[in-house]
């Protein structure tokens, strides 16, 4: 309903489906959520953003594909951490999924670390499947109470991060595509 009619009492439609799994395994309740996500995608073609917690890229994609979802309709977010992150991320990219190198400007992940994650994907030939993001969250609990989680400077990625990415040796056109064209193509599926 939120995708085809509107969210809440509005006619503003959701532009994507976000789902999440924890770490280490996918319990029955999370599998049910992923299957429902896949079915909602198939009914609407809305793209899927799948949250991971340092693992589960392969398992999420296995479930989505078993439900008939093209991996190109999926963006795995929060890549680049946990044991074996390089091979897990590259495995998702080889299957055709997109990835989000996000949490840029968060205190726990310096730019150099995030740039290193991008370069692993770029060096393997997957620049067109990478998107850059802050992954900020704003919660509103009342008309005047808003709480933000994440950066307050939403111009940081194009103003600071992308030039640093280019200075690190990433092709300028590919770096800008990670902010513009890649996301536009992914979101235009719907």
Please tell me the chain's helix, strand, coil percentages from 3-state DSSP, rounded to the nearest 5: 45, 15, 40
How far apart CA 22 and CA 98 sit, in angstroms, is 19
pLDDT digits (tens, 9 = 90+) for 40-74: 999 999 999 999 988 899 999 999 999 999 999 99
The token pair that represents 114 in the structure block: 């995030």
Give the residue from 158, 178, 105, 107 showing the smallest Cα distance to 135: 105
Q: Are 90 and 124 contacting, i.e. CB atoms less than 8 angstroms apart?
A: yes
**pTM score above 0.85:** yes
How far apart CA 76 and CA 52 sit, in angstroms, is 7
Q: In the predicted model, is pLDDT for residue 180 greater than 60? A: yes
Question: What is the model's pLDDT at position 89?
Answer: 97
Q: Are 179 and 162 contacting, i.e. CB atoms less than 8 angstroms apart?
A: yes
């Amino acid at each position: 309903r939120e995708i085809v009619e509107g969210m809440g009492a509005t006619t503003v439609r959701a532009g994507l489906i976000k789902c999440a799994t924890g770490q280490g395994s996918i319990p029955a309740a999370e599998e049910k959520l992923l299957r429902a996500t896949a079915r909602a995608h198939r009914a609407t073609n809305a793209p899927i953003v799948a949250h991971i917690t340092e693992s589960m890229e392969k398992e999420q994609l296995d479930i989505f594909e078993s439900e008939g979802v093209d991996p190109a309709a999926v963006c795995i977010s929060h890549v680049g951490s946990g044991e074996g992150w390089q091979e897990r991320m590259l495995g998702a990219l080889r299957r055709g999924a997109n990835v989000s190198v996000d949490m840029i400007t968060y205190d726990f992940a310096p730019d150099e670390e995030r740039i290193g994650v991008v370069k692993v994907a770029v060096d393997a030939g997957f620049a067109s499947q990478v998107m850059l993001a802050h992954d900020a969250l704003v919660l509103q609990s009342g008309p005047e109470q808003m709480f933000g989680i994440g950066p307050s400077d939403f111009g940081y990625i194009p103003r600071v991060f992308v030039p640093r990415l280019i200075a690190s040796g990433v092709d300028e056109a590919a770096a800008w595509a990670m902010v513009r064209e890649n996301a536009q193509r992914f979101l235009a599926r719907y």
